[in-house]
Structures are given as structure tokens and as C-alpha cells.
Structure 1
Amino acid sequence: MTDKKIRALIELELQKSDPDWALIENASRGQVDSNPSTVRFTVDAGHIQRLGAELVGKQDTALSELIKNAFDSDATSVTLDFKDQDQAGGSLTITDNGSGMSDDVIRSSWMRISTASKVDQPLSPIFRRVRAGRKGIGRFSVQRLGKRLRLETRPRGSRDGFRVFFNWDEEFQPGRDLHDVFNRIERFDKAPDHVGTTLEIEDLRDAWNDKAISRVWRSVLLLQPPFPISRRASDVVGRVQDPGFAVVINGTSRAEKSVQFSIDQSFLSQAIATITASVDGSGVATVRLVSSKLGVDDAQTFPEQYLLTGPVEFTTHYFIYSSSTLSGMTQSAAAEMGRTFGGIRIYRNGFRVLPYGQASDDWLQLDLDVSRRDLLVPANNRNFFGHVELTTDCNPLFEETSSREGLLENEAFHELRRFVRNAVEWSAKRIAATRNRKQDAGQKDFVAQPRRPSEVLQGLLDEQGAATKGGVSAEALAAAAAAASDYEEKIEKERAAALEYEEMLRLLASLGLSISVFGHEVKGAETSLSARLALLADAIAEVGDVTLRRRLERQQSQLQAASARLFDIGGYIAGLMSSTESRELRSLSVLGALNRFADQFSNYMRKQQVAFQIDVRPSTLRTTLMHASELDSVLLNFLTNSIKSMRQAKVAKRKVRMDARADGAHVVIGFEDNGLGIDEKSRARVFDAFYTTTMAADDDGIAGPGTGLGLRIVSDIAASYGGNAVVVDPSAGFTCRFEFRILAEAPSS
């Protein structure tokens, strides 16, 4: 429309006794936006859906936000009633007895995105609660939960209540201007003391089964700190006594449900120590460790100053899940509590900030360093149960992200992480020192001195002197003490090695799941990429410029080779991880297995300039019943070791030879290369766990760095099938030879 027509439309509408103000606003906005000398931001109506569906990604996070809103409104109770929640399409009604909202507040706060009202009014008016919400997006949690909303609110002291209806999916559609979406508001009569807000959420987007409800309860019960947060005088003066905040879900109260999901004193009493730490106003950090079980009461002041965090306090209980540290509670039950509730959480203004302290969150990098054995003490996240306190007044540099899941990782956050990590690490090491345990990998020549049975026997020997009257000679007691000591030393070494091995195998098992997904995805992309490479080749063939066509053909050829290598790896992984290949026990053709392995890595070997040789005699040689994936794993370990060895030796003509022969009831598979070789002293050690000479980073994606477990796994596989793995003298022209011996296929009767 022209400017003249827009003006005429507005003038005509203004002459009416009941003008259409929405039409006038729309026309005026069009007139303003048509000004060629100015521009301004506009908002698509679909942005509302993105705020709800994307910024508040998890359904239990969304529900927690709505509970926080009830808390902010000075509610003393909030009730959640689900109906038909077993599948999507049910309904949820959330009712609180808070202060409610006037129509002005609905317009200026509820209907305004990212309002600053909670910043301008950080405390609730009645109980002076520190408001949990800051970003003004909590209301969009209802959009995340359901497709329609009926909001009914009853403001305190007013005789009018208000209802607003929202149909998120139909009204807030992408392509519409947010200014053009209007929601109907209704007034109704009420008593001045009838207060609160009701949210009726219909057509739920997710099912809420028992597990989902349990997650909500855990979220509700841990929404506020598990231990009392200190209240400073400035927080208390002038407040009306806060009667508390109760939550009821489907008729079950928070107090009743706490019986099932509680962190009660019977569990906390099992902690081996309590750790309290703080940063004062000058940035000085101290930590105190108290353990009644070990008789420890120690403190430490850190040399680093923490100048950005502001005054911070944190408390945690420290658990060691072993029979020697637990009493009246089984080790498995305590460990399960640790897995469920363990971790150090962060609370801001009295409310929990996710994801810190979740089972999957490692914000202090404790799990990482324990798994890498940089820390040898029990110091996983599950070994700690506690919280860090932050407030807006004392810690102004900490801000939650717009999704309400995490803090902005600024310098203050990094400083806080260092403080908490230093405190828990120092405490765990102090406990380890008291228990005479090794603390980290950097401790050289550490010798543990636990009280062994041999020491008890030695004590008896010392008390009885040179002889005993009970018929047992001093010599016999001395021999018993020596035998017990030798046995214990052997068992302790084996146990320590086994624990290291098992921990690494657990990590490798977890890694295997990710590798399986990777192999599946690469395999799935092969057909699509191959087709497009063929189309690209056809397109290049039609290029008229000969020089350009040849250059493109070279690039296409290199891309073809790179993709072939990628698909080789993906196909190998997919085959290795498939259920039939990795789980089925069957007799394997040795020649077939070696040929398949060589074919799978043919492109890779050409790139590495390695010549492959295979010699199997007789060609009918077969293994005992075994997992095909295990033989692949053996060959891959040999291959990666060979590649790294030849690369380090800078061999000009690299070669690898695989052979196999029958040796009585066994099959012997040999693997040779012409790399650096293995000296006589190292031959016996290469199959030990964690022995490696290739820990440095390697630029090759297949060979990679060494972990010291590959050849140990090879040895274990051989032993499980009645054989062994050894290093022997190589054939002529080679420098290193491994032999993998297992039982052959049993002859048919």
C-alpha cells in the first residue's frame, strides 16, 4: 500500500466508535518500517517455539523452571497433577498459592521476552526470597512441555482474576510477525484473599512414565541444597518468616517421597571425612578436613588467591566404598548411593544449577584424571557428595546461560573450578597419606606399609621372645611370618596390576560403543558418497578446458583414494563390532581371516608403502571355536605396532609378513616386520600391562599412540584359547617376529 492509502486507512478506522486498534497498529508499523532511512529488528513468531523447545531442552529441566517460578512468587506450596501421562497427549496442571499476577504484570513480564523484572526486583516481596529466575525464559518451559496452555492467575489483594489462552503450535508459527499474534485475556471475579497461579498444560509433548516422574522427584528433592546453607545476617534481617516450600506430585508430598529418595544420615555417616572450604573477601582460600574414623583434623591455606569468585563456601562428604570404611551398610548399597547422588553440585541463590553434579558431568575433571591414573586415590565424582554456594550479591560474576543449564564459563568460573578441585584433591591425598596409600603417579619409590597378618605374627613372636611355652617354637612362628609376608607381597602386586588392567578395559569397552556408532555411520555414508564421486567424475569429463579438466581429475582421484581409505576403516570397524562377528563362537579359516584382514587395510598399507606377504600352510588350517573379532584384534595390534616400529626406524622399503602353520594340536600365526625390532631384555616385558614405548602422539589415525595394553590383550586372548604369545627370532630379511599360538580345530570323530 502507498503512504497515502495507509494514512486514509488509519483515518477511516479512527473515525469509528470502536476502532480496530490492532489494524491501526499494524498499518502504522508498516508505515514506520517503510522509511528508507531507518531499519529495526523484528521477531518471527516461531522464535517462541524455539525458546521453549531448544533453550529448555529437557522436560525435567522445564518442570524445574516452573517450580522455581512458584517459589519466586512467594508460594508456600505447588501441586502438580498429571493425567494420562503414560503417553504423549496427556495433560499437566500446576497450581501454586503464590502472589499471582495482575493484568499489568502479565503484559509487562509474562508477555515480554527476556524481561529484566527479576533483575530490578531480585527479592520476592513477602518472604524476601532470592529469586531463582533471572533470564525471563522460564515461562517458555510450558511451551516445551505441551502444545496448549490455559493460564489462570489470581493476584493478591485484587477482586479480579485473569485467564490467558495459548495455542503454541497454531498461533506462533514461523513466518508470522510476533507483533501480529494476540492472545485472549479474560477477567473473572474472585475473593481478595484467593491467590495463586494455575497452569493447565494440554497435549503434552512427551510421555511421563514412572522413570520420568522419578527423575522429576530427584530434581525437586535436590533443587535445594542437601546440607543447610549458611544464612548471613544481611539475608535475614527484615524478612517475614518463610514457612517453607512444599511440592506435591500426583498426590504424593515431597516429605513422603523423601523417604524413597532421601540422602539420610544413615548414608552420610558412612563418609570417611567431611571437607569444608571457603574463599574470603580478600581471595584467601582455606580447606579443613575432619575424619573421626581416622582421627584427622587438618587444615590448609592455599598460596593462590581467588580474586574473582567473591566469598564462596563449599562442603562435601568424602566416601571410600570399601568394606574397611563402611559399617552397618553394604559396600554395594553405598556405591549405588554414590552413583545415584554423588558429585559436587553448584547452588546459586539457594537453587541448584544443572548439570554440575550430574552422573554424566565431570566439571572438576576428577573422573578424567582418575581414569588416566594421574590420581591414584579414590577421587571420582561419586566419591564426593556436596555443594558449592553462590549468591548474586557475593558472587556477581557468575551468570547462568540462557538455557538455564550451566554457568557462563568466564574467568570467575575457571577460578572457582580450580579452588574446588584443589580443595578436594588435597583432602583426598591427605586421607590417602593417613591410610598409607599411594596418592598419584608422580610419587617415586613409594612403599605402602599396611598392617598385614605377617606383622601380627611378628608381634606375637616379639612378645614371646626366643621360645614359646605353648608347643609352637619361635622358629615356626618366624617361618609362618616370612611365608605370610611373601604371599601377601605377591597377592598385592597381582591385585594392583589387575585393578589397573580392569579399569583400562572398562574404558576400552565404553570406547567400543562409540567406535561402533562411528563404523556404522561411515558404512552408511559409503553408497551416497560413491554415487556423488561418480557424478563428479562424469561432470569433470565434460569440462572443455583440458588443463582444468586434468587438474580436476587429479583432485577427484585423490578424493577417491581418501574416501576409499575411510570406507576401509569404517567397514573394518562395522564388521568387527557387528553382533555376529564379535559374539559368535566358530572355527575360523586362518587363510581366510588373514586375507580378509589384508584386503581390509590394502589402501592403508599402500599409503604407508608397506608390502604385505601371506603364507599359510596348509591352506585348510582352522582355529578352535573362537570370536572372529578377537583374531582381528590380535592382527590389528600386531599391525599397528609394526607400522610405528618401521616409521621410527625410517625404513625405506617397509614389509610385513603374516604366516601360519600347524604345530601339533595348535595353530601358530606369525607376524613379522623390518622395523626397529625388540631387544632381548624387552622381549619378556612387552606383554605386560601398561608397558609401551610409543606413548608420544602419533599423526596416524590407525596406528595412534600406544597405551601399553595391546600386546597384553593379545596374550590374554591366546591364553584363553589354550596357547600363548611370544617374541621369537625373526626370519631372514625381518627384524621382529611375534608368534600367536592357539588350539586348532578339533578333529572330527
Structure 2
Amino acid sequence: MNEEEIRKELTDTLTNDSDNYSKILRLSTALAGFDLENVRFSVDAGVIDRLGTELVARQETAVSELVKNSYDADARNVSLIFKNSDLIGGTLVINDDGIGMNREQLVNGFMRISSTDKLHNPLSERFKRKRSGQKGIGRFAVQRLGERLTIITQTLNSPKALKLIIEWERYKGDIDLVNIANSIVEIEKEKEEGTTLIIDNLRDRWSQAAIKRIYRYVSAIIQPFPLSTITKESASQKQPADCEINDPGFKSIFKKIEENNKVVTIADETSMIYDHALATIDGWIDDSGLGIYSIESQKLDINEVGQIGSDPDDNTVPFSQLKHVRFRAYYYVYNLDLIPKMHETTIKSLSRKMGGIRLYRNGFRVLPYGETGNDWLKLDASIVKRSILPVHGNNNFFGFVELTDTEKVFNETSSREGLMENEAFIQLQNFIYRTLLTGVIRTAEERNVKIASGQRKDGKLYEKIEIRIKDIAHTLEALDRELEKEEGNIEVKKRRKKKIDKLKKDIQQVAELQKEEQKTFLKEKSMLRVLGSVGLTIGQFIHEVKDYIINMESDITFLLEKLKSDDVIMRRLLILDKNVTTFQSYTSYFDKVISQNVVRDLVPIELQNAIEKFWVSIKNDAQKSGIVFNEPKRQSVYLYTLPMHPSEWSSILFNFYTNSKKAIRRTKSTGEISIECGFHENLIYLEFSDTGDGISEENEEKIFEEFFTTTSPNILDEIDTSNEITGTGLGLKIVKDIVSSYRGNIQVVSPKHNFNTCLRIEIPKATDKELDKYGL
């Protein structure tokens, strides 16, 4: 259409069809194209798909962003329900009880790309939470997850709910973004306030293991402790201008609908955190003022109830100022195989941010009790004193106290930062601390762990050497103080003092020597790990060489028998030449790996370069094995890891490759391998994907354990007769040790489209200081 035709049609539309806003907008946009004096940016609709793929590459990231959006909307609870999600094409329903959105917020917030709302309002409206979602990524997250989105949202003051439907498949290239309209209507409210997202035709499969991974992924914003009961009225009623509503916390629950329409809870704070506590310690004050406690531990078979009085020496003396007090604490002991490895890392990470005992008064949180660095129960101080040896710091507990204080025995300070330290508050601290220590000591007794520094055990000391040295030093200091008080000959006291001072210096030297020995041991351990990984690499390499030697011997035998047949000889010579060329490329890579171990200096590694070198050396071997090894994908630039040893990445990549090769061989079909690397939240990541037979849910964590393998032969003869790569059960364990030693993470993640397995490694990136040091 020319300019005059567009003008005429626009005039007719405004006159006869003025409610057809989509047509008016399309014609106006087309008419603006004839403006020769001004130009305007336009946006292709295909940008939605490209941004969804680039900004939210992983399904875990996409879901976590939507959970964070519920958190930012001041939700107390969010539930995620997966339907028919074992195969591609299922449905995900995300339902929260946040403040919801009105029409203006929905249109100018969610539907506006690169909205500045979070810049202008960094804190949430109701609970003043620091907003955690990434700016503008939510809409791309839902596009990444499924083909169709339905939003149902309502605010407290709105009479109706809003329903918006978006068909993402309409956002194709060669269409102007502004010309695609989405239906929005008013419907009856489903609840007082909150938002529901219905994502249909999911683009990925969602197993139980994948759902649990998402829970761990978003757990950094989930408070890992029960919440006080908050009535709907108290949370929604209008507050005075100078009154803040305390944040009641945020809980998420992940569910899945099974084939029989049974709703099964896959992940929540109970299954992912509380169930892994060593013990649960409960305490309450009865009607007479006596403290009652219970200690339960399935791991240690403890189930007992006891009594605590105000007087430590007399449990029958009641607490005069306490009533309507209850508390619960979950007790954790780390690094002793008391928590499943797949959960321990998450729980430890949470404990550093949210460990401790929170305090709620009349249903609302009282700060700063239980915040990072707050030691209101003197648990960390008790650890320092070492009068009780079993661990019992704030990081070892997740818990809360509930006070029903209608008589206002516990009063806030004038600054509203905490409670006044009156007699009631001191008794509260006394009761909770002694109850917690009772539980700690009881579990220590059951584990046969040393409780006090003077305690001994026949045949074996409880404490480590460094602890024993400190105990001796403390004993000498106490003896020194006693001698100062002692009356007697001054010369005798001086000689004693001199001997004690010398002994102190000797002990200090022992402690310093022990530290040096420990450093040496750690260095040796690191070297052994590297040498072990190289040895394993060589072992795998030698097994691979057998294939080439067999082929070469066959070719040579054939040439000797068919020497007179020129055409056949030429064809076989070409094959032999290709095999030798591949063999040389293959061996040169491992020759470099061995050479790198001559120098033990650690340097930042540009991950993409390391991957490409590996790919060039291995791709011919993959082709020979009937595997399509795609050229590595780089999602970011300048991917320098923190200083590492080059051979460690060689070991990692070769282990991943041989595992993928075995998995593809088991499918007895051609396969595909893909490597992707990029940058995410100060971490450099690598994802290694294959189309092998996959990893079962029960084995997703076991594969990183030493000696776990599915490919070991039963007898030695099978090694000689089998042409399969033999599994030792050490490869992925070594890979995990390498990654963990650099404070990185390794895990099985949900596979990308058309792949069956994906292993993801995350390594901290090099700091500017490290890059400057190495001139990078």
C-alpha cells in the first residue's frame, strides 16, 4: 500500500471501526514509515524468542526467576505444580499469595520490556524486601518454559481479577513487536489477592530430580525455618503510617501430579531441609512455669522428654516471668556424613545466611534476633569458650521462638530494635540456651563424642592434635594465674614462672610446626590429585590406543596379502593414512597434558580455548565412533577461571567425553555430544551434553562417589576380550574433587532439547587482581 491508501484506510477505520486499536496501531506504524525527515527504532517480534534463549538458557534459571518474582510481590507462600511433565508438553502452575497486579502494573510492568520499576522501587511494597529478581527477565523466563502463558492476577482492593493470555508462538520474525496484541479480560476473583501463572506446552521434561534441583537453586531466598502463624486480618489490615509490617518470611513448595491424579510433594522445607537434621529440639513453658523439652532424632534413635527449671541445680523451680513460650530448633552437624551430600552443601550455605534462632512476638518477627552476626543466645560465644566441645554455634541451628505476649511482658526498646533486657527476657535466654545445650550434649553422648575438655576415653583420644595443644596451653595459663596468687619465696616463683614461659614457647612452636606440616600435607594431597587424574587419563588413553593398533595391524596384514592389487591397496593406504593422522592428533594432545605437569604453576584458564583444543584433538575419534561432536558454543567472552592447572581441565574434559562415549555405545545407535560454556553470576560454567542412555534419578548423586561405576567387568578375562572402555569409578570422583578444591560446583542438570544427559560445572571467575598478576 502507498501512503495515500494507508491514510484513507486509517481515516475509514477511525470513523467506522474506532475500537479496532490493533488495526489503528498497525496503520499508524506503517504511515510513520513515510516520514522522510525522522527515523524511529522498531523491534522485530522475534526478539522475544532470542532474548528468552540467551537470557534464560536453563530451565532451572527460568523457574527460579518466577519464584523470585513471587518473593518480590510480597508473597508468603508460592506453590509450583507440575502436570504431565515427565514428557515435553506438560503444564506448570505457579500460584502465590502476593499483592498481585492491577491493570496499570500488568500493562506497564510485565508487558513493558526493560521496565524501570525495580530501579525506582528497589524495595517491595508491603514487607520492604530487597527485590531479588533480575530486572525484566520474568517475561522471558515464561517464554523459555512453555508455548502459552495465562496470567490471572488480583489485588486486595480490586473488585475483579485480570486474565491475560499470551501465545508465544505468535512472536515470530518479520513482524513488528508492537503489532501483536494479547487478550486481557476481567473475570471473577479466585482469591483476595495474588497471582497465578499457567504455563502450557512445556518445552522441557521435568523429572523429580530436576524439580528438587530447582528448589535447591532458589533456596537462597527461602527462609529455612517454620513461620509464625499470621492471621489474614493482621496481615491485610491497614496500618498506621509509622507502623511497618514485619516480613513473615517466604515459603515455596514444589508438587507434581502423578498419573493417578495424586498430588505428590516433591520439595519443600521439610523434605529438603528439616528431614536432614540430626535432631529436633522442642521447648515450651507449662502452666506452672516449668520448662519442658523434647529431643527427637531418628538417626540416633533418641526420643525423650525432660524438664528444665529456672535454677540449673533444681529442675523443679519454675520460671517466674515466662508463659506462652514455645520454640523449635533443628540441629545439624556438618562434614561427618550425617547429612546426604546432595543436601549438605545447600543446608550449609543457608546456615551461613540464615542459621540461628529467630524470634516472633505475637505473630511478627522481632529483629535483630537470628540475623547474621547476632548472637543473642550466646551460642557462638559458647563455642569460643570451648567449655562444651560438640558444635553448637548459630550455624548449627535453624529455629524460631514464638511468644504470645498479650500481657506485654516483653517490651520493645525505644528504637524498636529488639526487646528490653528485663527479667523476662533474661529468663527466656536462659531457658532456650540450656535446652539447646541439653539436646546437643544428648546427641553427642549417643554419637560417643567428647563433650568436655577434661573428658578421656580409653584407648583413643577424642580431640585432634591442635585441640589438645590448645587445651594444654589453656591449662598452663590457668596454672600461671594460680601461681601469681601463691605466697612464698620470690626466687622460687621466678624460677617457676621462667619454666612455664619456656613451656609455653615450646608448645607454641609445636603448634606452628603442626600448621606447617598441615600446609605441606595439603600441597601433597593436591599434587597426588593431579597425578591421579593424569594417571587415569593415561589409562583411558592406552585403552583407546588399542583400537588404533588393532586397525593398523589389520591394514598391514591386508596389504601384505593384497600387494598386487593396486586399486585396493590405494584405498586401504588412504584409510591407513587417515588412521595414522588421527592417531597422531590424538597422541599429541595427551603429550601436551603430560608435559604440562612438569610445571606446577597455577594460571587463569580461558575455558573456551581449553575446550576448543580438546575438541580439535578428539573430534576425529568421535567421528570414527559414529558420534557427532558439535563445535563448542561460547555464550560469553573472556571466560577466564581463577588460577588452575591446565592438566586439570584436560582430565575433566576427557572424563566427560569417555563417559558420554560409553553411554552412547550402550544405546547401540549414533550419538551426539555438545559442549557449551559461558558466564553466570561471577561463575564460569561448562555444560557437557550427550544423547547416551542417560543417568537414572537414583544415580545422579552416586556417580560422583568413588568406585561407583556401571561398566566394570566382573573378571580379568573380560577386560582382555572386551573392546569397551572399562569404568574404574574414580573418574567423576576426581573431577568433583578438582572442582570442589576451587570452590566450584558440579551436578547433573536437566538435559537440553534432544539430549539425554547434561553435566554442569561452575568455577569462580578470575578476579581483576589475578588477571593483572598474569598480564591477562
TM-score normalised according to structure 1 size: 0.39
TM-score normalised according to structure 2 size: 0.38
Rg: which structure is higher?
A: 1
